[in-house]
Structure 1
């Protein structure tokens, strides 16, 4: 299958977003405005690749490129942007027959690799594809090393009552106790977002880690996507914030995107109550699933998220290098 690649511009934004809407694995992170905000705040150059067969758009593929030392690195998504996954969107993927799904994906990956390695001279490429794009073989057949990762999704189609009954018994007890202690969950705004960012930054500093992203970045996203696609919840106890979360709403899913570290207040579970309030709202508003976004590689987070009795949803991290030497360097740095 002969494909040609072009770079999207602002004039292509509507067509780009239509492509995102066309497939289940197209997510809010793929939308044009989100990508442009990411570029603005990550010190990367966005290459919004559009793959055509003749005049027909068959895929979009957002790539962020940066220089890291003497290496040119291509990422989808970029690091330190509160993004777990991104990768390609195959147009109308869910309606294609299996042989077409495979042949299109293989051709797209081959052409994108040619562009990245031959035209841009990239040394390291890392792609993290979104859930609902279940096939990792085009990456492996193109020479990528592929790692399966896992996020959690709660099925909401049978209603809030059914979801509640599937929770771990201790979780239900903790939520009811927190309600009895007069913890109140409120929909929040920008100041609540600032509180959550500060709480996360403090916890990461305590753990000797660098802060992810910036408040300016989150504020830009808030101004663009709140309230239609972004909801903020704050747990209030005795007049103080003790928990909260930022969720994203897109298509048929609601996603726990950013959470606040566990409260130091003994005897209450404000973040569990926040989760339940968000899940209840999602059920009432017709969403089909609630995702507790995760990479599945942290056992400590597993114990928090699995008590909601979610289903596992697989996604993939794929990496490829221009030479074995760059692979060794990337592994030594432990981060690309």
Structure 2
């Protein structure tokens, strides 16, 4: 039986499908998808693939037109959306041959719909770590590029987990006992404050950063309680560090982080350890540190004894692909 793709505009039903998949992230929730569309100037196409009446996968796609180019994204650039792309649904476990055929036909059906409805000159997909088999995209003319992130396993008990970290992390956390500080979970105003500080840090480094306070605030407010969290560290009422995270039932994702590097409190290590402890206490299975591609940042993240995980970017261009890739990078 063939698989047909169609748009799913029922947010509650979409989120029920998100909950059925082990390949989705908090960015796949319908509330997040709408906020992303509003702040990226794109049109959302939330596709679901059906085998008869049975949904077998979901795939949110965004369309953007910047004359003379039409572009399809999942996710769109600029907003630091870590992962999106397709997600297969958990269900019965068919044998490998049937599972691969269903997967291939699901991707084919969405690609055909995108080509018909959007007619993109260029398409760009960035999947999550749960989506491990990009071959159906390759078979449909996409070029894959492996990307990497770090994951911290939360299954060891807290003491063993802490002792697995590098000596300087342990030293910094213990050192913080000599300081007076407040580390708390904040609200939407703290989300805006953290993003404002990240913006300032990028300006100092003359590095582009396009996440706005409004986007981060709307994402925080739109998602179910506890999905997005803001952690703030203060000394004498003065901000010295903060971190915004997203989470589902199993994974916490580090999203935006900043610290006052001139303060002698090791706020970054302290906040990360507190986030990890609280995630473990809530029963989560892992922390995704989001990104293991920047050599400089890897030096810090590797201190938490993570494992390397692979995900993929997938690109397809019908004409002038190199030029379109350059346009995509400029949009980012």
Which TM-score tier does this pair reach, normalised by the shorter chain? over 0.9
**Residue 266 of structure 2 is aligned to residue 272 of structure 1:** no
Q: CA deviation at 1:155?
A: 0.6
Distance 1:140 1:168, change over 3 A: same
**Residue 137 of structure 2 is aligned to residue 139 of structure 1:** yes
**Residue 260 of structure 2 is aligned to residue 263 of structure 1:** yes
For the aligned residues, what is the CA RMSD? 1.8
C-alpha separation in 2, matches of 1:314 and 1:253? 16
Distance 1:175 1:127, change over 3 A: same
Structure 1: segments with no counterpart, 5+ residues: none
Q: CA deviation at 1:334?
A: 5.5
Instruction: Pick from 316, 319, 326 the counterpart of residue 315 of structure 2.
Output: 319
Tell me which residue corresponds to 1:306: 302
Q: CA deviation at 1:83?
A: 0.5
Q: Secondary structure at the match of 1:62?
A: strand
**Residue 318 of structure 2 is aligned to residue 333 of structure 1:** no
Distance 1:56 1:183, change over 3 A: same
Q: Secondary structure at the match of 1:192?
A: helix
Tell me which residue corresponds to 2:293: 297
188-197 or 57-66, which deviates more: 188-197
Q: CA deviation at 1:99?
A: 2.4
User: Is the 8 Å Cα contact of residues 63 and 74 (structure 1) preserved in structure 2?
Assistant: yes
Distance 1:200 1:61, change over 3 A: same
C-alpha separation in 1, matches of 2:251 and 2:168? 26
User: Is the 8 Å Cα contact of residues 24 and 94 (structure 1) preserved in structure 2?
Assistant: no
User: Is the 8 Å Cα contact of residues 183 and 270 (structure 1) preserved in structure 2?
Assistant: no
C-alpha separation in 1, matches of 2:256 and 2:53? 39
Q: CA deviation at 1:302?
A: 0.5
Give the TM-score normalised by the residue count of structure 1: 0.93
Q: CA deviation at 1:44?
A: 0.2
Q: CA deviation at 1:289?
A: 0.8
Distance 1:334 1:32, change over 3 A: closer
Matches within 5 A, 1:236-247: 236-247=234-245
Give the TM-score normalised by the residue count of structure 2: 0.94
C-alpha separation in 1, matches of 2:305 and 2:91? 29
Tell me which residue corresponds to 2:8: 8
Distance 1:43 1:238, change over 3 A: same
Q: CA deviation at 1:125?
A: 0.6
Q: CA deviation at 1:322?
A: 1.5
122-131 or 99-108, which deviates more: 99-108
- Write the deviation string for residues 41-79 of structure 1: whole angstroms up to 9, x where unpaired: 110000011111222111111000001231110000111
Figure out how many residues of one structure are paired with residues of the other and give that number. Answer: 330
